[in-house]
Amino acid sequence: MVVNAERPGHSLHPGHSERPGPFESPGYAESPGPAEPLRNAGHGRHGRPGHGGVPTGNAQEVARRYQEFSWREARGRSDAHEELSARIGQDQELCELLAGSLPAGDKQQPQLLLAAVRHLDGPHAEQGPRGAVAYGRWREWTIRHWDQVRDVIMRRGTQTNEPARCATLLPLLARLPQPLALLEVGTSAGLCLHPDRYRYAYGPWYGEAGDPAAHAPLVDVGAADSPVVFHCQVQSPGPGAGAAEQGASHVPIRLPEVVWRAGIDLAPLDPVADRDDLRWLQSLVWPGDEARAARLSAAVDAVRAVPRPRIVRGDLIDELPALAAEAPAGATLVVFHTSVLSYLPYARREEFARLVRSVLDGRDGGGHWVSQEHHSVLPWLPLPAHHTPRPDDPLQLTLALDGHPVALTGPHGQSFRPL
């Protein structure tokens, strides 16, 4: 989702200590392999430098960014992205091209380059290069088509829309006073505005490596005709007997009643009406995650025949008050967001938090604020000491209701751990 122009694009684990990554291993120390010389990238129609041999930007920072992305984000999630970003991080000439022809900040995010090449059907688009020779082909193709790749990067953003996050939102939404008026900031394609259009299977916790789809669900709830089922593991708040029963107490037994849906995004997508928007969303799904790609396509099918939500193009702080005022009287207004505020400077996050509280306090009947962000993004949220995240912990988001943490959740809706 695009919410603000000041996107850092770094890992969601800021402040972690440095440690060696896969780019330092012998397996990634091979030469890139045959490739078209970088000078052929030329100035292009953008009038940018970016040919090899002359540093035209902070290439060292770009290299570090790709190395950190490989180690802290792609490792364990996508072998293809882990290797490819590690190799780019050691490729001085390519990093000089990226630094010299892309604006610093969000447009130098590793995800954008990798998705842009996939979007254009570059080599190894699905699985990524394996080995130095394959990387050489990827590198050569990317340089030869650099104008097209750069054009995609400049027009697009990392607008990931994971509808399976509805599985971790549903336990809260189902407990709020009904009916609901949903307003999502950073809505991207708006797929998370349809929690009542999907089906869910909540199962017992089997650890990070467990496959919830392989076990009988604790609770099966949702739209019977939905083409997609989101599986979510539920962990009990503490160890001991009756863990499954404790976990089940946090699982919804019904869908929320939604009477109004709206969202805000700097560059909203419409994957139902625009095939290129759908293709971009699919390009952002990491190679090797076929299940997530299938969920995305099925979720689009699930909302294809229903009325489109009202999506406003603009900045989340500028547009929130007026859009919230359109929510129908008699409905509980829920302002929510997932993995959005990390793209705002800290002062803007605080400004947004004050604005949400003000908007809800000023509404007749009030409303609720549901946030699902990495804990480092909202450090004012209190967390019990025994749940304090550590640098080596699997990435989890903190689900909070009106500023009070209620659960730790998987970033793709795959797990729900009540606090």
Predicted confidence (pLDDT) per residue in 137-152, tens digit: 999 999 999 999 999 9
Range scoring the smallest mean pLDDT among 84-93, 177-186, 196-205, 364-373: 196-205
Range scoring the smallest mean pLDDT among 66-70, 236-240, 331-335, 400-404: 236-240
Q: Global pTM?
A: 0.78
pLDDT at 342 over 70: yes
Mean pLDDT of 43-51: 36
Query: Where does the pLDDT of residue 43 fall: very low under 50, low under 70, confident under 90, or very high at 90 and above?
Result: very low
Query: Where does the pLDDT of residue 133 fall: very low under 50, low under 70, confident under 90, or very high at 90 and above?
Result: confident
Three-state SS sequence of 69-93: HHHHHHCCCCHHHHHHHHHHHHCHH
**CA separation for the pair 389, 178 (Å, rounded):** 34
**Could you write out the DSSP letters of every residue in 272-316?**
TT-HHHHHHHHHHSPTT-HHHHHHHHHHHHHHTTSPPPEEEES-H
Following CA atoms 235, 237, 241, 247 in sequence, which dihedral angle do they give, to the nearest 10 degrees? -50
pLDDT at 18 over 50: no
Query: Where does the pLDDT of residue 302 fall: very low under 50, low under 70, confident under 90, or very high at 90 and above?
Result: very high
Place of tokens 């549903």: 170
pLDDT at 219 over 70: yes
DSSP helix, strand, coil percent of the chain (3-state; round to 5): 40, 15, 45
Hey, is 152 helix, strand or coil? helix
pLDDT at 63 over 70: yes
pLDDT for the residue 365: 87
